[in-house]
Structure 1
Amino acid sequence: MHQEQPKNPLHGVKLEQIVTRLEEHYGWAELAQQININCFKKDPSVKSSLKFLRRTPWAREQVEQLYIKTFCTWPYNAGL
């Protein structure tokens, strides 16, 4: 059964959408400055980033937090 999550700004947003939107907004070079991970620095692509982020929870958390900070409006990012 589908449950609503009104307080979760990432509900219904796929990781691929997050990475794509951040890359379009910042570009790979700025993403690498914001989050220091090699998948954004060396031969970056959405595909390689997704592979890394799905296996690396701490990096995925940082990407999700940057997405929330950048695109989600109050009250979601009020405490960030």
Structure 2
Amino acid sequence: MNQQPNNPLHGLTLEKVVTQLYEYYGWEGLYYRIKINCFDNDPSIKSSLKFLRKTQWAREKVEQLYIQTFCQ
């Protein structure tokens, strides 16, 4: 069994991460913190997930923001 006790994202889906960040900051707040178009141009959870799943650097920024926001 692969346990990750030091990984704050362990067990969280990308959808859960994006949804919690959106509920906390809103789309405008997310775009202010991470300048990616999926948070600015007609944003939705679905379109953001589609972009983040194929764009590793953007996903890493979103995951880092989640850790800074909820895990400190």
TM-score interval, smaller chain = over 0.9
1:4 positional shift: 1.1
Q: Which runs of 4+ in 1 moved over 4 A?
A: none
Q: Under a length normalisation based on structure 2, what TM-score does the superposition of the two structures give?
A: 0.97
RMSD, aligned CA: 0.6
Gaps of 5+ in 1: 74-80
2:46 paired residue number: 47
**Larger helix share, 1 or 2:** 2
Gaps of 5+ in 2: none
1:33 positional shift: 0.5
1:63 positional shift: 0.1
Q: Which amino acid aligns with 1:20?
A: T
Percent identity, aligned pairs only, is: 65
Q: Under a length normalisation based on structure 1, what TM-score does the superposition of the two structures give?
A: 0.88
User: What do the CA deviations read for 1:3-61 (whole angstroms, capped 9, x no partner)?
Assistant: 21001111000000000000000000010000000000010000000000000000000
Larger Rg: 1
